[in-house]
Chain A
Amino acid sequence: MNIFSLLKIRNTNLLFAFSLIIMFAACREETKDKEEAAPDLALSEDHAGLVVPDGFGVVKVADSLGKPRHIAVTSKGGIYVKLREAVDGKSILYLEDTDGDGVADSKQGFGDYGGSGIYLGNNYLYATSDEAIFRYPLDGNAKVTAPNTPDTLVHKLVARRSHATKSITMDKAGNIYVNIGAYSNACQEEDRTLGSPGMMPCKILDSAGGIWRFRTDKLMQSYGDGTRFATGLRNVVGLDWNSEINKLFVTQHGRDQLNTLYPDLYDTESSATLPAETMYMVEEGDDAGWPYIYYDQIKKKKILSPEYGGDTKKTGGEDAIDPVVAFPGHLAPNALLFYTGNMFPEKYKNGAFIAFHGSWNRAPEVQEGYMVAFVPFENGKPGGDWEVFADGFAGIDTIQSPDQAAHRPTGLAQGPDGSLYVSDDAGGTLYRIVYTGE
């Protein structure tokens, strides 16, 4: 396409045009090969500021979108973006690229409720507010047919500001899974308050702090119609169905403030490192142990929380599940995606990408995260250590406080060609990472 436009501009200079034609002919075969890997995309020369592994390229699909949270890409390549706060009264954006360069050139909006969750399945678009799950029928081009009159699938879910956003995914049997985050840090009587004891039992777990399961074929459901699928999960923002082994996987944000709440037990360094951010495979009835325990990724043990008699060493949670992956503390895993595409090299197949929003609770130590990580999987189990896949979002090397970061990864989606899309809710940018092999 660039060569054609060049030809047009230079058509007065016959010699130049002639030489271009010769060049074009000479390059034709090579160009064709390249198109198969990544067709005509407007790849950014500097990877849009990101650092990606060799052979990968980045297209900046859009920017300044507000605060995009989770994203979903249709079989036709259209992109649905859920905004945390509505912009001009619209909280779901539909972006399209009509000329094939990967850059969105059409944007529509609908839905007046801010939120985080969005998911495509069974010819519907599902989107969440902090209290409800809505669904929109799609036409043959995966476009929403009635943007102003969604069905209410689930409503009246607990939302008390803290950890109120709802993330969703679906299995292959007509069920939808939603995170209901605990409206608390560590289930103290008084949230985040020095000296306030832990509630025993933690009554928050009745209606939050877990994953609830609902049907996708029944409207106006609430707690009585669903199942508390898994409990003891403080705040899950990333979740995905692993279709290779038909299991639900989630990423939990671990507790904050071990140092400020227990200065005699934890110094600022251990409080920045602990507890782990955890990825679990959860099955019906599982308990991940919050608030009674946390996972210490250095000791590789479930440690009794200080609110419940812990002293940094005592273990607990004998009946609680262990994580399948434990990451350093406070990195904020905001999205999880199992890669099923064919574009990326073989090692990525069925592996997990995790979008880390980046820490704030490591202060006064330096903040960490602000990147997309990858964990290889084999037969539904981690097949190696986690690694940084895409970095450089923050735009600076040392991050003291989150407002210094230019971009913060928060959503992931896979395109029909196997591209990986990443959303950022600080700069409002949407990235598309492709494998070119170059």
Chain B
Amino acid sequence: MFLMMPGVPCTGLFIPVSNQSTKSGSGIQIKLFFTILLVLLFAGCGETKRNNKESSETAVEKATNASTKIDSVRTPEYMSAGKQVYVQNCLVCHQATGSGVSGLNPPLKNTLYVTGDTDQLLAILINGSNEGLVVNGSTYSNAMPAFGMLSDAEIAHVASYIRNSFGNAAAPVTSEEVSAFRSKTGK
């Protein structure tokens, strides 16, 4: 939805003008005038529109790929359960928008710490991190507490939620993966 928003003013202008030209149908001059106006408007909007289209297609494609996998593990439930875990445990530091807090708590959007390797993400969620992570060139000073006390399902839910929120689109994490990670690392 956010990706589509910059296109809104162009579409908004486009539609009423187009309707009016169809309705008025009679005078060729009026038609011509509106056609030229439309062409001009279209040309004016073209660049932005094309860019938006491309980026939203990429996002849609990503989201579709991700949601195919999400469906396979019933992720609509994962997303709503994950949001509950997020609101209670994560939101205060990482914020409702996943923006984090400059200098203190890292963002959860646009970072491979969240959308990349699942084991790395699970390690941070389960064991915490107190090293001052550098994310996109900035250092964040607050400690990330360990959430190993959460169940495999809760960790899977919240990991899937953050991987598919704030503009992120990445494969979900299953309870089985969390369980396997715990057996592998002894946590």
Interface residues of A (CB under 8 A from B): 67, 84, 161-164, 190-196, 256-257, 259-260, 263, 271, 360-361, 363-364, 400-403, 426
Interface residue count on the B side (C-beta < 8 Å): 27
**Interface 9-mer from B34-42, B61-69, B73-81, B142-150:** B142-150
* Bound CA–CA A194/B146 (angstroms): 9
Q: Which residues 134-187 in B have Cβ within 8 Å of A in the complex?
A: 139, 141-143, 145-147, 149
Interface of B is mostly: loop
Q: Is the CB of A363 within 8 A of B102?
A: no
Q: Is the CB of A360 within 8 A of B145?
A: no
* Bound CA–CA A363/B105 (angstroms): 13
With both beta carbons as reference points, the residue of chain A lying nearest to B87 in the complex is identified as A364
Q: Is the CB of B92 within 8 A of A401?
A: no
Taking the closest CB of chain B, its distance from the CB of A399, in whole angstroms, is 11
Q: Is the CB of A363 within 8 A of B141?
A: no
Q: For the complex, is B91 an interface residue (Cβ under 8 Å from A)? A: yes
Taking the closest CB of chain A, its distance from the CB of B73, in whole angstroms, is 26
Taking the closest CB of chain B, its distance from the CB of A75, in whole angstroms, is 32
| A192: contacting residue among B88, B99, B142, B149, CB under 8 A | B142
Q: Is the CB of B145 within 8 A of A191?
A: yes
With both beta carbons as reference points, the residue of chain B lying nearest to A84 in the complex is identified as B103
Taking the closest CB of chain B, its distance from the CB of A314, in whole angstroms, is 24
Interface residues of B (CB under 8 A from A): 87-89, 91-93, 95-97, 99-105, 128, 130, 132, 139, 141-143, 145-147, 149
Q: Is the CB of B97 within 8 A of A193?
A: no
With both beta carbons as reference points, the residue of chain B lying nearest to A426 in the complex is identified as B102
| B96: contacting residue among A162, A363, A426, CB under 8 A | A363
* Bound CA–CA A195/B128 (angstroms): 14
* Bound CA–CA A400/B89 (angstroms): 17
Q: Is the CB of A401 within 8 A of B128?
A: no
Q: Which residues of A contact B88 (CB under 8 A)?
A: 260, 263
Q: A400-B97, A403-B97, A403-B99 are in contact. Are A193 and B146 (CB under 8 A)?
A: yes
* Bound CA–CA A363/B93 (angstroms): 8
Q: Is the CB of A400 within 8 A of B149?
A: no
What would be 7 A-B contacts, judged by CB atoms less than 8 Å apart? A190-B128, A196-B145, A257-B92, A271-B92, A363-B96, A400-B97, A403-B102
Taking the closest CB of chain A, its distance from the CB of B89, in whole angstroms, is 6
Q: Which residues of B contact A256 (CB under 8 A)?
A: 92
With both beta carbons as reference points, the residue of chain B lying nearest to A360 in the complex is identified as B101
Q: Which residues of A contact B145 (CB under 8 A)?
A: 190-194, 196
Q: Which residues of B contact A402 (CB under 8 A)?
A: 95, 99, 101-102
Q: Is the CB of A360 within 8 A of B105?
A: yes
* Bound CA–CA A162/B141 (angstroms): 5
Q: Is the CB of B143 within 8 A of A192?
A: yes
Q: Which residues of B contact A163 (CB under 8 A)?
A: 141
| A161: contacting residue among B93, B95, B132, B149, CB under 8 A | B132
Q: Is the CB of B96 within 8 A of A161?
A: no
Taking the closest CB of chain B, its distance from the CB of A269, in whole angstroms, is 13
Q: Is the CB of A360 within 8 A of B130?
A: no
Q: A260-B88, A361-B92, A364-B92 are in contact. Are A161 and B141 (CB under 8 A)?
A: yes
